[in-house]
Structure 1
Amino acid sequence: MSNPDDNSFKDVEEHPLAQIVDEHVEEVEVKGEKIRRKGVYLLPNLFTTAALFAGFFAIVSGMNGHFAHAGMAIFAAQILDGFDGRVARMTNTTSAFGVQYDSLSDMVSFGLAPALVMFSWGLEPLGKVGWAAAFIFCACAALRLARFNTQAEVVDSRYFVGLASPPAAAILAGTVWSWSDVVPSYEVSMALAIITTLVGLLMVSNVRYTSFKGLNLKGRVPFVVLFVAVLVFVLVTVDPARMLLLMAVTYCLSGLLAWGVGVCKRPKVTAKNDNTNKDQ
């Protein structure tokens, strides 16, 4: 009989157990040398799985008419999503598997979940128009995530190109959560369809948004900064749904405002200069 501890199988695919259990194998480069590693890191992927479950819970809650719970679940997914990457970097457990898993989780929690929750709450009376608005948001979230994954190494990390999917989802989730006990009229539903579509299009736009990745939380700050942070926590506690919605809308408008200021500051070529260039 063969020894189960036999290490003669140098390649994982050649091992008999590989025919029973398809174990994840990832090839990484360490000091210029490619090394094959088996398995996945547990801790950061647990946070990603929790965020994925929150998105799934939001969809189920929206289908059952529990819209407040659905909105809260999407915000919970955002908190959990903010931890997985930071935990991976702090514990030096980043991996290509984690990056892809996080992206798929984001698609469910910040693309599919807010679109379906918004449809169940306010877009369903519109029929095909409501379907179209919800699908545009969902498709734009998928395109936004795909573009981010392919451009992560070539764009300035201080900015996002297009509105990120978490704040976009926060606008829809905050709206549903804030007025979860209200049945929207047909006119309000049309306005919601327009908002859903515009927010979706912002995700695939070229408008730049601050990523806050350069924010140094370890350094010293003026006392007033800490006071403002405490004030924000208090306001969120008083009315979490509307305050979180206000923060998401403010962030959304900040990129548009910066884009508008940049357009206004662009040098304008006068007709006189155009004629001078033609003569030359």
Structure 2
Amino acid sequence: MAQRPRFNAIFILPNLFTAASIFTGILSLVASVHGRFEEAAWLIFLSLLFDGLDGRVARLTHTTSRFGAEFDSLADIVAFGVAPAMLLYLYAGESFGRVGILAAALFVVFGAVRLARFNVMSPNTEPSVFIGVPIPAAAVFLAVWVILFERYSALSAHKGWLLGAAIAVALLMVSNIRYPSFKKFHLDKPLVTKALVAAIAVASLLYLYPAEGFALLMSLYILFGAIRAAYTIATRKKRLG
């Protein structure tokens, strides 16, 4: 009589981190509904932590699977699509009527398109770049700016800018602009010390000013791809002209 294959419990571990990402996304939604906007934003950061761990744990334990990849995408649309969109709408969009609804809806819809495209293209995509802004980066970008708008009264009077930023980053998610993924990051030996110093400086900034530091880093990341793409187009036209 043939023995049934044994179930290896280690396969559950990465999916537990994915489930935790969904759970914290739901907690963020609940916090937004109750008007605890800064808490909701930080919970999106916590979802990002779990989202980063699930793939790494799967690779370390050799438990990567098609199920895990699909589960991760479904988790992302909740934690980094619906949760930040509702945070955006309840914090800034509700007073703008249909424009606020449209900004939140476009963020979710284009985030879903971004995830679907990534799932289709990932086998043929360069491992060092993302095509379009990754949805976790877009979600954290919105979340950290909500924190700043909450903390600084001078900003809170201009919440409409958040809607414009949300629409812009939604469009960048479905663009063909390349963004670094940092999944495979190689440095020449002479640059290792400089990179270490830079990393310590960034960590110090985040320790002293966590919200402001993350806002600066995420804004630079979002702008980096757009500016580089514009520069590439301009130099190509100049060369052809």
Determine if the TM-score, normalized by the shorter chain, exceeds 0.5: yes
* Structure 2 equivalent of residue 109 of structure 1: 79
Determine the C-alpha separation between the residues in 2 that align with 1:48 and 1:201.
26
* 1:154 is the counterpart of 2:135: no
Q: Distance between the aligned counterparts of 1:171 and 1:214, measured in 2?
A: 22
Q: For the aligned residues, what is the CA RMSD?
A: 2.4
Partner residue, 2:145:
175
Residue 253 (structure 1) aligned with residue 228 (structure 2): no
Alpha-carbon distance in structure 2 between the residues aligned to 1:137 and 1:255: 18
Match of 1:205 in 2: 175
Name whichever structure is richer in helix by fraction: 2
| Alignment partner, residue 29 of structure 2 | 59
Where does structure 2 lack aligned partners over 5 or more consecutive residues? none
Instruction: Give the deviation of 1:221 after TM superposition.
Output: 5.5
SS class of match (1:255) = helix
1:189 positional shift = 3.0
Cα distance in 1 for residues equivalent to 2:240 and 2:220 = 33
Decide whether the 8 Å contact of 2:93 with 2:101 is kept in 1: yes
Instruction: Give the secondary structure class of the aligned counterpart of 1:93.
Output: coil
CA contact (8 A) 1:55 1:73 kept: yes
Q: Partner of 1:229 in structure 2? A: 199
1:129 aligns with 2:99: yes
Q: Which amino acid aligns with 2:108?
A: C
Which of the numbers 234, 237, 240 marks the counterpart of 1:264?
234
One-letter identity of the residue aligned with 1:51:
S
- The offset of 1:39, in angstroms, is 8.2
Are residues 40 and 96 of structure 1, via their aligned partners in 2, closer, same or farther at CA, if it must alter by over 3 Å? farther
Normalising by structure 2, what TM-score?
A: 0.90
Total equivalences in the alignment? 237
Kindly state the Cα deviation for residue 197 of structure 1 after the two structures are TM-superposed: 0.6
How far does residue 223 in structure 1 lie from its aligned partner after superposition?
A: 2.5
CA distance in 1, matches of 2:127, 2:195: 24
Q: Sequence identity of aligned pairs in percent?
A: 36
Matched to 2:122, the amino acid is: A
Which structure has the larger Rg?
Answer: 1
Distance, in Å, in 2 between the alignment partners of 1:179 and 1:269 is: 44
Would the aligned equivalents of 1:137 and 1:196 in 2 still touch at CA under 8 Å? yes
8 Å CA contact 1:67, 1:117 repeated in 2: yes
**SS at structure 2 position matched to 1:160:** strand
Q: How many Å separate the matches in 2 of 1:164 and 1:266? A: 26
SS in 2 for 1:94: coil
5 Å-filtered alignment, 1:8-19, equals: none
**Greater CA deviation, 148-157 or 39-48?**
39-48
Q: Counterparts of 1:81 and 1:91 in 2: how far apart (Å)? A: 16
Among 229, 234, 239, which residue is 2:209 paired with? 239
CA contact (8 A) 2:128 2:185 kept: no
Secondary structure in 1 matching 2:199: helix
> Are the equivalent residues in 2 in contact too, given 1:123–1:193 (CA < 8 A)?
yes
Q: Does structure 2 conserve the Cα–Cα contact (< 8 Å) formed by 1:67 and 1:177?
A: yes
Partner of residue 93, structure 1: 63
Rounded Cα–Cα distance in structure 2 between residues aligned with 1:269 and 1:69: 51
Offset of residue 175 of structure 1: 0.8
Alpha-carbon distance in structure 2 between the residues aligned to 1:210 and 1:142: 20
Give 1:7 shift: 5.7
Task: Tell me the SS of whatever aligns to 2:124.
Answer: coil
Tell me, what secondary structure is at the counterpart of 1:209?
A: strand
TM-score normalised per structure 1: 0.78
Matching residue of 2:39: 69
Q: Which runs of 5+ in 1 are unaligned?
A: 1-5, 11-34, 271-280
How far apart are the structure 2 equivalents of 1:261 and 1:49? 40
State how far apart, in whole Å, the 1-side matches of 2:2 and 2:123 are.
38
Cα distance in 1 for partners of 2:123, 2:134 equals 16
Aligned to 2:111: 141
Task: Say if 1:58 and 1:74, in contact at 8 Å, map to a contact too.
Answer: yes
- Contact 1:71-1:176 within 8 A present in 2 as well: yes
